[in-house]
Amino acid sequence: MTTDRRNFLKKTILGTGVLAAGLSTRANEVNHASPAETNRTTTKSRFNMSGYAAPKLDKVRIGFIGLGNRGPGAVERMSNIEGVEIVALCDIQSERVDKCQAILEKHGLPKARSYSGTKEIWKEMCQSVDLDLIYITTPWAWHTPMAVYAMESGKHAVSEVPAAKTIDECWQLVETSERTRKHFMMLENCCYDFFELLTLNMARQGYFGEIIHGEGAYIHDLLEGNFSKSKYSDMWRLKENYREGNIYPTHGLGPICQIMNINRGDQMDFLTSVSSKDFQMSAKASEMASTDNFYSEFVGKQFRGNMNTTTIRTIKGRTIMVQHDVTSPRPYSRIHLISGTKGMASKWPEPARISNGHGWLTEIEMKAVKEKYTPEIVTRIGEMAKRIGGHGGMDFMMDWRLIDCLRNGLPLDENVYDAALWSSIAPLSEKSVTNRSNSVDIPDFTNGNWKTNAPVELTLKGGGTTEVRNAIKSKA
């Protein structure tokens, strides 16, 4: 039976079907999103990418696009993994390509082909026949177009978060991956942090009982960074904050979804979202413009509110809270809270803690839990990951796992449906916020396959053959 998987109801409309008086012009524009985002013509699922194992690759030949903030770190990490050949480097600025060529030279690796100079040069790279994987670390607006083009060119693709900015783009990723049978993975590194992996394994072993509720966040004071002239080209990161809602949900959301088996036994049903007003960004723009005319274009712009809180209910009755605040002067937090019928875990504020009653486990009890439930991926490469780096090692663990899956013909831990669903929370939360926090239905990107998809394992079962380059095997 063909499932109308895009014709989900727009619960953003008030009960009478008429917008309430007084909504801003900006809200009205959001409500009148293109039919492509809400009621596109449906197509039957071509192929289920969940659990799909692409043919093994003895060597994974990679081309990188975007070598500014995140790109050099990715090149450095991949330079440490056996079975990887860095074939091509692409950035509009040639000096960035040169910087990454120096990384390869440092590791004694061959020079990669360079692509730079024009905004479309990345397409030439994607068309190369000697590439297996396109690794995208560009500004957000390029993630979906580049990933779709890469898959259409016969390559697997991965991108930094978020994978997409609109519901339309989420569907483009899903349909292209299904049609081409090429993997697309969003590089959600927080799924590979040590405590998140520990709690995932504990949940798999039933430690928390039935999972009831989860919380995640991206609370990170980026006010100065977002207004930096040098950090983000064309001030693109600051301009993203013209959008309302939770525009960067996946760091806190991804690990919670894996623990709850979202897309693999449960599915999101609907969300509601509310934002505070903007207390700082508009004022910051005026402050900066008073001494530097460069910032005058940002004066009077309507920025997103400081704090957004989005709540999600799943079809099986679980709840998730996700927060976003990148302007308030607060300590960094992703929250990572899991609550079940037998216990709970929480990471922020630190230290990470676990409870199975009214109090927290003691230090000795925590040590015993870690010894019992630390997953094999951490015991195998965790210490090496910490030494190589990338947000304490989770970036390296993510890249290592990606390569190991591709080389051993294993399904990826995060597939295109996860990328689409987790990214969709941004535009859907925007719709809710601009309609006085009315609920919004969340589309099922799996076309009903969530009911039978197997949960992600994130273990080394069937894999684990990839080594760390030049590492002592006993430590790798």
% pLDDT > 90, the chain: 85
Res. 435: pLDDT tops 80? yes
Residue 45 pLDDT: 58
Rounded to 5°, the CA angle 189-237-398 comes to 10
**Nearest Cα residue to 93 out of 259, 257, 233:** 233
CB atoms within 10 A of CB 213: 15
Res. 389: pLDDT tops 70? yes
**Nearest Cα residue to 202 out of 247, 144, 259, 256:** 259
CATH topology of domain 60-187: Rossmann fold (3.40.50)
Residue 43 pLDDT: 54
| pLDDT band at 17; cut points 50, 70, 90 | very low
CA distances, 165 to each of 62, 410, 427, 475 (Å): 25, 28, 7, 40
Cα–Cα distance, 169 to 187 (Å, whole number): 17
> Residues 406-430: what's their mean pLDDT?
97
- Contacts of residue 130, defined as CB under 8 A and 6 or more positions apart, other chains included, come to 61, 87
Return the domain boundaries, the chain: 60-187, 190-377+415-451
CATH entry 3.30.360.10 includes domain 190-377+415-451: yes
| pLDDT band at 470; cut points 50, 70, 90 | low
CATH topology identical between 60-187 and 190-377+415-451: no
> Residues 392-403: what's their mean pLDDT?
97
> Residues 394-412: what's their mean pLDDT?
96
3-class SS of residue 115? strand
Q: How many residues appear in the chain?
A: 476
| The model's pTM | 0.91
124-161 residue pLDDT tens: 999 999 999 999 999 999 999 999 999 999 999 999 99
| pLDDT band at 19; cut points 50, 70, 90 | very low
Cα–Cα distance, 283 to 83 (Å, whole number): 50
| pLDDT band at 31; cut points 50, 70, 90 | very low
Contact 400, 466 (CB under 8 A): yes
| pLDDT band at 467; cut points 50, 70, 90 | confident
